[in-house]
Chain A
């Protein structure tokens, strides 16, 4: 597609439930990044993929968060036992390669997750 697509755009879930957030990167982009943005804050890095493998997951806050990219294109961010503090906008970005400079990052519009 022309840009990075994230679905759903909004998700409301109950505390304790499991959620999956999807990111479709630009076709041919091998690097994919997940960020989380709380209200009034800048985006916070979570994890990035080079191809199918997670090259850096140092930003994942705890083991309730997990992400996969099994075929090197679409990625899914999974959150188990959601907590109210997980409420945020989850952003995805892709770039042609990890070595591409930041000018080559394209961000999606994000998924707004609300845990009630």
Chain B
């Protein structure tokens, strides 16, 4: 079973920041938070991951609370192409445990 809880859907106006929350209250000390997204008719695509510190890359920013029980993925300037299902996954950083996906959040970016 997925160890995360996400809202089923969200809307965001084009050009605005999209903030996608994720609860992972049972996260273990050695587990990372990973974010993937799945655009319609494509396979999931890695976005970003983090352990404790906030992270930023060219796609998004990841804010992890100090107690690590929740996190937020931020798309700073959402575009129509960011419309997708976003999955938050917790897992150890290496090792052969398969990724376990939940249902994710369906983000709709509206013009």
Query: Which residues of A come within 8 Å of B, CB atoms?
Result: 4, 31, 33, 35, 40-45, 48, 50, 55-56, 59, 91, 93, 98-105, 107-110
Contact = CB atoms under 8 A, between A and B. Distances in A.
A51 to B, nearest CB: 12
B43 A102 contact: no
A42 B96 contact: no
Interface of B: 2, 32, 34, 36, 41-46, 49, 85, 87, 89, 91, 93-96, 98-104
Q: Is the interface of B mostly helix, strand, loop or mixed?
A: loop
A45 B98 contact: yes
Contacts, number: 67
Contact of A44 (B34, B41, B44, B101): B101
A107 B96 CA distance: 16
B93 A101 contact: yes
Contacts of A33: 98-99
A25 to B, nearest CB: 12
Contacts of A42: 2, 85, 87, 101-104
A109 B98 contact: no
Contacts of B104: 42
B98 A100 contact: no
